[in-house]
Amino acid sequence: MRTMLHAKIHRATVTDANVGYEGSIALDPVLMEAADILPFEQVHVLDVDNGARLQTYAIEGTRGSGEVCVNGAAARLVERGDIVIILSYGTVAEEEARRASPRLVYVNERNEIVRVSHGQLAAAELAAAGR
């Protein structure tokens, strides 16, 4: 078995950080659906601005709002306006791991989806662009 990247929401902007909430990261359901992240699924949040890395679980925020709100103790690690990468992983059999193609969701500064692709396709796009 191997743990493989299942989905990534790339460079989302934190819309709020709420220390008083019990925990989790509230995400616009539009983003969750695009990334195939389920409510209460474990996610890793990487803060591009300060290097913080944390694990929590996703909950649904307000649909269509672009919400990315880090809650609870994790809210001390991020600030409103920070850029984050949100990752989910899955454990798959060796044979399936070699064909893994994570869903990659790219957003703009308002957390609106600008592109959705799959890992193998994204790698081919980068290679074609010479990167």
Paired tokens of 83: 């850029």
Which letter does DSSP use for residue 72 in this model?
A: G
Candidates 57, 65, 106, 117; catalytic one: 57
- The enclosing H or E element of 92 equals strand 83-92
The phi, psi pair for 9, rounded to 5°, reads -105, 115
Paired tokens of 121: 């396709």
Task: Tell me whether residue 101 is one of the annotated catalytic residues.
Answer: no
Task: Tell me whether residue 24 is one of the annotated catalytic residues.
Answer: yes
Alpha-carbon distances of 109 from 81, 84, 97, 102, 114, rounded to whole Å: 9, 11, 32, 22, 10
Question: Hey, which residues are catalytic here?
Answer: 24, 57
